[in-house]
């Protein structure tokens, strides 16, 4: 009796599950819509998914996919028309250039591939249309492309025989792009020498002897020169294969060791000369002030010095006046 009761319960549960599964995957869809991805960049490949109200394989349904621009003045255009082929047991689709169609194993869905994403609204609809079902459109809104930059940097000048390096700095992740480092002998040169090429994040090869890869990340690359020589002087350029990136160029100058030492010696000699002249000027300052004080050299002196000079001048004039009076008086006595 217990076994019979248990069997009835299990049968009821299985029947409910089958009914529920049918509700989810069969005729009880109430809408037709689609789903678009997020974060797609304009011009990149992408895809969106059509979700139908029926299993289009089981019911051998034809379907239509069309798109229309957010701009109201542009007409809608058919993306794909898929008809059920009874002979092959699958859909045969006529697809507009730039798109592809794949009906998934979850047969109420179809994946529509896009070669170059742009602003567009899409509609997926089973044919013939059911008047009671209004298809819901989905919108693809890719991000606008911006010009990404590549900068090149090098510490220059460098002594011949010493270590040098060239750095490529990228404004965003370049792990999936081809990268090339080129060298030009002059700013006007149009025939570069290829130094390095990366065909993938892990496949980088040095094309010219005398260079090594010191550091490489998704946004930064440092190419080292263990023993710098004169022929490595020039203009270096970091290039990415992606056309939306602006390449960067930098200069590296290799010089003889004596040249930098001579320049430094000249700079030091000039500095010492300035210091000596300054010290001599300070030492001569008391002499200059003394000469100014004795009226042998005219210089703008402090106010106190001027007052002392005026007082001494007044005293001398007074003394001279007294002497003149005495002489006059004496002359009168003798006459």
> What distance in Å separates the CA atoms of residue 117 and residue 79, rounded to the nearest whole number?
13
Three-state secondary structure string covering the chain: CHHHHHHHHHHHHHHHHHHHHHHHHCCCCCCCEEECCCCCECCCCEEEEEECCCCCCCCCCEEEEEEECCCCCCCCEEEEEEEEECCCCEEEEEECCCEEEEECCCCCEEEEEECCCCCEEEEEEEECCCCCCCCCCEEECCECCCCEEEEEEECCCEECCCCEEEEEEECCCCCCCCEEEEEECCCCCCCCEEEEEEEECCEEEECCCCCEEEEECCCEEEEEECCCCHHHCEEEEEEECCCCEECEEEEECEECHHHHHHHHHHHHHHHHHHHHHHHHHHHHHHHHHHHHHCCCCCCCCCHHHHHHHHHHHHHHHHHHHHHHHHHHHHHHHHC
What's the confidence (pLDDT) of residue 212? 94
What's the confidence (pLDDT) of residue 330? 43
Both tokens of 187, joined, read: 């700013």
pTM assigned to the model? 0.42
CA distances (Å), origin 143, targets 44, 118, 243? 10, 9, 17
Cβ–Cβ under 8 Å, residues 159 and 260: yes
pLDDT tens-digit series, residues 45-82: 999 999 998 899 889 999 999 999 887 777 889 999 99
What's the confidence (pLDDT) of residue 111? 94
Please, what is the angle between helix 257-293 and helix 303-334, to 10°? 30
What's the confidence (pLDDT) of residue 130? 81
CATH class for the domain made up of 148-255: mainly beta
pLDDT tens-digit series, residues 262-321: 445 555 667 778 888 878 878 777 777 766 666 555 555 555 545 555 555 565 555 555
pLDDT band at 246 (very low <50, low <70, confident <90, very high): low
Mean pLDDT taken over the chain: 77
pLDDT tens-digit series, residues 24-38: 344 445 678 999 998
What's the confidence (pLDDT) of residue 261? 47
What's the confidence (pLDDT) of residue 228? 93
Both tokens of 318, joined, read: 């007074």
> What distance in Å separates the CA atoms of residue 168 and residue 247, rounded to the nearest whole number?
10
Domain ranges for the chain, please list them: 27-140, 148-255, 259-304
Cis ω on the peptide bond leading into residue 23 (within 30° of 0)?
Answer: no
Chain centre distance of CA 189: 26
Tokens 């000596």 belong to residue: 276
Mean pLDDT value across residues 217-222: 86
CB atoms within 10 A of CB 140: 20
pLDDT at 239 over 90: no
- Percent of all residues in the chain with a pLDDT value above 90, rounded to a whole number: 34
pLDDT tens-digit series, residues 154-172: 988 999 999 999 999 887 7
What's the confidence (pLDDT) of residue 328? 44
pLDDT band at 206 (very low <50, low <70, confident <90, very high): very high
CATH code that applies to domain 27-140 = 2.60.40.10
pLDDT band at 145 (very low <50, low <70, confident <90, very high): confident
β-sheet bridge partners, residue 234: 252
């Amino acid at each position: 009796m217990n076994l019979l009761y248990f069997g009835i319960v299990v049968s009821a549960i299985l029947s409910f599950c089958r009914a529920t599964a049918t509700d989810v995957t069969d005729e009880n869809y109430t809408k037709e819509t689609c789903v678009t991805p997020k974060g797609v960049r304009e011009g990149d490949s992408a895809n969106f998914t059509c979700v139908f109200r029926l299993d289009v394989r089981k019911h051998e349904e034809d379907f239509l996919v069309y798109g229309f621009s957010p701009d109201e003045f542009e007409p809608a255009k058919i993306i794909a028309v898929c008809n059920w082929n009874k002979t092959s047991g699958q859909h045969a689709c006529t697809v507009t250039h730039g798109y592809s169609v794949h009906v998934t194993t979850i047969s109420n869905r179809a994946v529509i591939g896009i070669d170059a994403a742009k602003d567009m609204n899409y509609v997926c609809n089973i044919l013939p249309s059911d008047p009671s079902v209004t298809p819901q459109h989905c919108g693809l809104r890719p991000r606008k492309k911006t010009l990404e930059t590549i900068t090149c940097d090098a510490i220059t000048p460098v002594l011949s025989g010493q270590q040098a390096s060239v750095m490529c700095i990228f404004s965003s992740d370049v792990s999936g792009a081809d990268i090339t480092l080129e060298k030009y002998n002059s700013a006007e040169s149009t025939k570069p020498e290829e130094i390095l090429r990366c065909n993938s994040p892990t496949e980088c090869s040095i094309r010219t002897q005398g260079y090594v890869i010191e550091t490489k990340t998704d946004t930064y690359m440092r190419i080292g020169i263990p023993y710098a020589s004169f022929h490595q002087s020039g203009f270096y350029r970091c290039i990415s294969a992606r056309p939306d990136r602006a390449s960067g160029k930098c200069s590296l100058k290799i010089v003889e060791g004596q040249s930098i030492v001579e320049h430094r010696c000249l700079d030091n000699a000039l500095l010492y000369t300035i210091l000596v002249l300054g010290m001599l000027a300070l030492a001569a300052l008391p002499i200059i002030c003394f000469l100014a004080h004795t009226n042998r050299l005219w210089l703008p002196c402090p106010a106190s010095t001027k007052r002392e000079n005026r007082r001494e001048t007044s005293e001398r004039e007074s003394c001279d006046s007294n002497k003149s009076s005495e002489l006059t008086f004496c002359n009168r006595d003798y006459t």
